[in-house]
Structure formats: structure tokens, C-alpha cells
Amino acid sequence: MPKESFVKNRIKSVGFALRGALLLLRTEASIKIQLFIAIVMTAAGFYFDISATEWILQVFAIGMVMGLEGLNTAVEKIADFIHPEYDAKIGFIKDIAAGAVMIVSIAATIIGAIIYLPKIF
């Protein structure tokens, strides 16, 4: 069987990634909240006419939170698949993944405060 071309493989990969992002958005409450916050912060960026550097930091922060939220969901799903009943070691792994999301969320909140508090006050 001949190998698929590089371009076809990349197109398929993008399709899988888009499907994964849509599954995440359709099935996970936490990412829906993060998306709502991202939309509000994007609107705030236009309203307050933030600088290019502020946009870069804001987009990076939003991407980090949402991307890590997706990884956290993947960790939780695979852990539940491997060990469906409660297990302290699995709980430890899931707590660490959730903690990573919290750390990035705190950093994103600080970035938002640095950008917007001077504009509000």
C-alpha cells in the first residue's frame, strides 16, 4: 500500500485536532467556562484598545489555560479508562493535572490584572 503524501497526512492531523477541540468544547463544562472567559477578555481587549504586546500576552495566556485544560481532560479520561474505580494513585495523578491548570489559570489572571487594572482605574 503506498504511503500517503505529507500534505494529506497534515490535513488529516488537522482534522483530528479540530475534532478533538470540538469534542472538548461539547463535552466539558470547564472548557466552556474557559471559552466564555476568553470571549469576554477578547471583547475587553478591543474595548480598552490594548497594545500588540498586551494582545500577545493575553492570547498566550488564554491558549495556555485552554490547552492545559484539554490535557487535563485527556489525563482524567485515560486514568478513568485504565482504572475506573477509585484509586489513590490515580487520584494523585488527576490532582496534579488539575493543579497544573490552576497554576496556569492564576498566571493568566495575573496577566489580565496587569493589563486591565490600570485601564479600569
The yes-or-no verdict on residue 10 having pLDDT over 80 is: yes
The yes-or-no verdict on residue 4 having pLDDT over 90 is: no
Contact predicate 94/48, CB 8 Å? no
Contact predicate 74/93, CB 8 Å? no
The yes-or-no verdict on residue 2 having pLDDT over 90 is: no
Alpha-carbon dihedral of residues 71, 77, 81, 83, nearest 10 degrees? 90
**Residue 97: which pLDDT band, with cuts at 50, 70 and 90?**
very high
**pLDDT tens readout for residues 52-93:** 999 999 999 999 999 999 999 999 999 999 999 999 999 999
**For cell 488527576, what's the residue?**
94
83's enclosing H/E stretch is none
**Residue 3: which pLDDT band, with cuts at 50, 70 and 90?**
confident
Q: 85 — phi, psi (to 5°)?
A: -85, 165
B/e letters for 59-96, b = 16+ CB within 10 Å, e = fewer, are eebbebbbebbbebbebbeebeeeeeeeeeebeebbee
pLDDT reported for residue 53: 98
What percent of the chain is modeled with pLDDT above 70? 98
Q: Which three cell numbers stand for residue 95?
A: 490532582
Q: Is 121 helix (H, G, I), strand (E, B) or coil?
A: coil
